[in-house]
Amino acid sequence: MRGFINLFPLIFLLAVFCLEDCLATDIIRINDQIKDQETILSSSQIFKLGFFSPVNTSNRYVGIFINIPAQNVIWVANRDNPIKDSDGIFKISEDGNLVVLNGQKDILWSSNVSNSVRNSSAQLLDTGNLVLKDNSNGRVIWESFQIPTDSLLWNMTLGASRTEKIHLTSWRSPSDPSIGNFSFGVDPLRIPEFFIWNRGVPYWRSGPWNGNVFIGLPAMNSGYKDRFELRTDGNGSIYFTHSILNDSVLLYFVLNSSGVLVERVSYYSDGNSNITWLSIQSGCDVYGKCGPFGRCNPLNSPICTCLKGFEPRDTQEWGRGNWTGGCSRKAFLQCDRNNSAGQENKLDGFLKLENIKVPDFSHLVEFLAANTVEECGNLCLNNCSCTAYTYYTGIGCMQWTGSLIDIQQFTFNGADLYVRVAYSELDFKRNMKAVTASTVIVGFLFLVLCAYFLRKWFTRHRGNKQKDQELSLFEAWEVAKMETTLRDNLDQSKLDDLPLYSYETLANATENFHSKNKLGTGGFGPVFKGKLLNGQKIAVKRLSNCSHQGIKEFMNEVMLISKLQHRNLVRLLGCCVERDEKMLIYEYMSNKSLDAYLFDSRKRDILDWNRRKFIIEGIGRGLIYLHRDSRLKIIHRDLKVSNILLDEELNPKISDFGLARIFGGNQDQANTTRVVGTYGYMAPEYAMGGKFSEKSDVYSFGVLLLEILSGKKNTSSHDNENDLSLIGYVWKLWNQNEAVKLVDPALFDPQIEMEVLRYLHVGLLCVQESAKLRPIVSTVLSMLNSEIAELPRPKLPAYTARLGNTESEYSQLRGFSINDVSLTIVQGR
C-alpha cells in the first residue's frame, strides 16, 4: 500500500509525458493540470503552451510560444504576477475559468469571464490562439487573441470600438513581461492608421490606410509583403487583421520593449527565424521628430528642415538639434492679416511637396466630396482653417487644419502635399525669370530659323548637292519646337548647370573628331574622347546626320538626362546645337564600359565577386532611380553591358538614355511603334509587341546579371548540341541542379556558392517570360541582399533558344516587317 502511494507521482508524471508525447493533445479538460516543465502542442505542432523564464530571471510564466528552438514567446498569461518557484499549475478551475496557480493554490491569473459555466475546455489552435469553450453549447467564451500581449499573429485582430480596444503592449524589458511603456493599435477617432504610443503619446505611425497599404510605409508596396485587411462595422469600430501569403512560413509582428515594431519570419521547415522589417529605421520614423511644420529627410544632415515659408520657432534650440519645437510662419495668411492697403487681393497659395509621408491628423477630417486634386485645392483655399491638402488615390481629398506634424520626405511612393502659404512666400520671382528667359529663347530661335532659311537659299543657289547633310525645314521646325519644350521643361535654376558648348570648342577638344579619339559607336552615332582647354576630359556623342529620327532622340535625351543625377548614372555636362550638328557632352569614364572587362580574358580577374556584386547593385540602384525616384518615370529600354560605364574606381554608371521615354504620372506601360533596343536584352513583350514597362528593363537587368555572373555573352551559343542562349543554358543547368557550373571560373570559390546561387535565382526571376511574374527592381535588390529571404520558384524564361544573328533573320523569326523595328546591333563604345 505504502509502495503504491510512493509510486503514484511517478505514474502520474509518466501519464503527463504521454499526454504530451503519446496523446499529443491540444485540449485542456476540466480535470487536467499542466505543471511546470509540461507542455501541450497545437495539432500541427506549430505552437506550444507551457511554463518559461525570460532571460536573466528565475520567475516563471505561463505562455504560448512558437515550437522552434528559439521559442519565441507570443503570449503570456500571468505577465503581471510571476510564479516565484517551479510549483505553478495551469488548469481550468471549478468555475470554468482558465487559471494560473502557485504552489500555495493562490490564483495569480484568471481568464475571469465566467462564473456560471461548469463544464468548459480549452484548446490551443494552430493559429496560436488559445480558446476556452462552453462544452454545453460549444460557444467560445474566451480567447487569448482578445487580450494579446506584444505579438500580432496572422488572423489576429487589432482594433478599437467605442467601448473596447485591442492593442499590443510591450514588455517592460526582455526579462520582464509585465506591461511596458509602449502600445500598438488603431485609434478609432482618426482615419484608419496604426500607431505606437509611448505612455499614450504618439511615438510612431503608419500613415493612413488607402484600402491596400499604409501610405506612410513605402516599402509595403512590394508585393512580397504581408497583407492587412480592414474591417469596420456601422458603429465606428475599426479592426485590422493580417494574413500571409505562404503556408510554410509564419510571419508575425512583435512590439519590443524599446517601442520598435519588428516583423519576423519563422520557417517551420528548419526552425530558423529572421527579422524582415522594423518600424523605426531612421530617426525620421520617430513621430514628430521635426516638430510642427518641419520636414524630416533621413538622407539630409541635419535631418530636419523647416517647410518653405517657415522658420525655426527657436533658432538656438533648433541649432542644438532639438527640433521638437518646430517652425512658424514667416508671413501671415490672408485670413489672419489685418487688411491694410494693397493687401486685399493677395490670395494665399499652395506649395507642392512631392513624395511625402502626409502629416498626422490632429483633428478629425471628414472625407471631402472632391473628385479631383483641383476641387480638393479649391475647397481648401476657400476655408480659412485649412492649412494643407492632399489628394490620394484610394483615400481621396484629405485636408488638415492647424499644425502639420510628422512630415517625412520619402524617395519614392509618397504623396503630393500642398501646403498653404501667404502670397508673399509664393515663387513669383522665379516665374518672372522663366518668362524673361523664354522670351529671349524664342527670339533666339527666330534668328536660328532665319539663318536656316538664308543658308538653304544660298546652298540651293550654289547648287550644293549635299542635301542629306542638312535639316529640312520641317525638321528645323521640329528642333525649334523641341527646344522650346526643352526650355519650358527645364528648371530655370538647372539651366545654368547645362552649358551650351560651341562647335569650335568641341572640335578643338577632339582634334577635329579624329578617328584615334573615337571611343566607339553608340546607337545614334560615334562617341569621341576629348580634352577641354582647362584639362577636363569629356566624352562627346555626335549624333549621326543620316538618322532622321535622331533629332527627336537627341532632344529627348537632353531633356531627360539634364534632370537626372545619381551616382550610378553617367552625368550630362552639356550639349551643342550648331551647324546641323547635335552633340552631347558627358563626363569621361576612364575605364570605358563593363564589356571591356567582363569579356576580356586578361581583365576579367579584376572583377572579383565583391566587385561584381557591387556593380550589380549599383546598376540596380541606378535603375530604381530611373523607375521610381527621379521626378519622371523613365524606362531605359536599352540596358546592356556596353551601356554600363566604369569610372576610375570601377563604380558602375548607366549611360545612354536617348531611348528613354517619359511616362505620364500613373501610366506604367506604354506602346510604341518604334522598337529600339538590342536583341538578346529585349523582353519578349517589347520586342514582339512594342510594349515596354519597368518590367522590360527588369528583363534586361536579368540578362545583364546572368552575363556578369557567367562572364559570357547572352548572344553567343552555350550548348553546342541544342544551340541554347545563355538564358536557356542557365535554365537547363538550374533544372539539373548544376547552376554553379555556369559561374565564371574566375570567381570560383566554394565559400560564395550559396550567394552566387541566390544571384542566379534572382536573375532567372528577372528573365521570366511573363512580365507580371518578374519582380520590380527594388524587390530584386531586396532579394539579392536577403532582405527578402524566400524566393519564389522561377518560371520558364523567355528565349531559351539562341536567336539568329542578323536583323532580318530575327525579324522573320518574329514575323514582323523590318520597317517596324530599328535594332541597335552595333555593340557600342
Ligand X SMILES: *[C@@H]1O[C@H](CO)[C@@H](O)[C@H](O)[C@H]1NC(C)=O
Interaction site with ligand X (CB under 6 A): 30, 55-56, 110, 112, 119, 127, 135, 155, 172-175, 180-181, 233-235, 246-248, 256-258, 260, 262, 272, 274, 278, 317, 322, 324-325, 332, 338, 383, 385-386, 399, 401, 786, 789-790
- Cβ–Cβ < 8 Å for 392, 432: no
Shortest distance in whole angstroms from residue 567 CB to ligand X: 24
Shortest distance in whole angstroms from residue 66 CB to ligand X: 14
CA distance 663 to 648: 33
Shortest distance in whole angstroms from residue 628 CB to ligand X: 23
Closer to ligand X at the Cβ: 260 or 561? 260
Shortest distance in whole angstroms from residue 789 CB to ligand X: 4
Q: For residue 689, which of 670, 705, 661 has the smallest C-alpha distance?
A: 670
Closer to ligand X at the Cβ: 105 or 602? 105
Give the 3-state secondary structure of residue 140.
Answer: strand
Closer to ligand X at the Cβ: 258 or 502? 258
Number of H helices, E strands in the chain: 16, 46
CA distance 682 to 636: 11
Tell me 724's DSSP state: B
Closer to ligand X at the Cβ: 133 or 487? 133
Closer to ligand X at the Cβ: 175 or 431? 175
- Parallel/antiparallel/unpaired status of strands 675-677 and 821-823: parallel
Backbone angles phi, psi at 732, to 5 degrees: -65, -50
- Parallel/antiparallel/unpaired status of strands 249-255 and 261-267: antiparallel
CA distance 606 to 650: 10
Tell me which residue has its CB nearest to ligand X: 325
The residues annotated as belonging to the active site are: 638
CA distance 739 to 177: 48
- Cβ–Cβ < 8 Å for 784, 760: no
Closer to ligand X at the Cβ: 119 or 282? 119
Q: For residue 128, which of 83, 184, 77, 64 has the smallest C-alpha distance?
A: 64
What's 730-778 look like in SS3?
HHHHHHCCCHHHHCCHHHCCHHHHHHHHHHHHHHHHHCECCHHHCCCHH
Q: Which three cell numbers stand for residue 479?
A: 528642333
Shortest distance in whole angstroms from residue 119 CB to ligand X: 4
Shortest distance in whole angstroms from residue 262 CB to ligand X: 5
Cα–Cα distances in angstroms (integers) from residue 214 to residues 191, 240, 413, in the given order: 11, 12, 11
Closer to ligand X at the Cβ: 244 or 688? 244
Q: At what angle do helices 694-710 and 753-766 cross, to 10 degrees?
A: 150
Shortest distance in whole angstroms from residue 788 CB to ligand X: 10
Closer to ligand X at the Cβ: 263 or 478? 263
CA distance 794 to 3: 67
- Cβ–Cβ < 8 Å for 657, 585: no
Tell me 129's DSSP state: -
Backbone angles phi, psi at 321, to 5 degrees: 90, 10
Location of C-alpha cell 546561387 = 757
Shortest distance in whole angstroms from residue 753 CB to ligand X: 14
- Cβ–Cβ < 8 Å for 26, 131: no
Shortest distance in whole angstroms from residue 14 CB to ligand X: 24
Cα–Cα distances in angstroms (integers) from residue 313 to residues 328, 359, 593, in the given order: 5, 19, 51
Q: For residue 622, which of 585, 651, 587 has the smallest C-alpha distance?
A: 651
Residue 162 makes CB contacts below 8 A (sequence gap 6+) with: 188, 235, 236, 237
Shortest distance in whole angstroms from residue 131 CB to ligand X: 11
Closer to ligand X at the Cβ: 325 or 396? 325
Burial letters 72-89, b for 16+ CB under 10 A, else e: ebbbbbbbebbbeeeebb
Shortest distance in whole angstroms from residue 361 CB to ligand X: 10
Closer to ligand X at the Cβ: 117 or 771? 117
End-to-end CA distance of the chain: 98
Closer to ligand X at the Cβ: 452 or 734? 734
Tell me 628's DSSP state: I
Shortest distance in whole angstroms from residue 101 CB to ligand X: 12
Closer to ligand X at the Cβ: 175 or 536? 175
CA distance 303 to 321: 9
CA distance 682 to 760: 19
CA distance 129 to 153: 9
Q: Is 528 exposed, middle or buried (0-12, 13-18, 19+ CB in 10 A)?
A: buried
Backbone angles phi, psi at 323, to 5 degrees: -95, 0
CA distance 90 to 32: 9
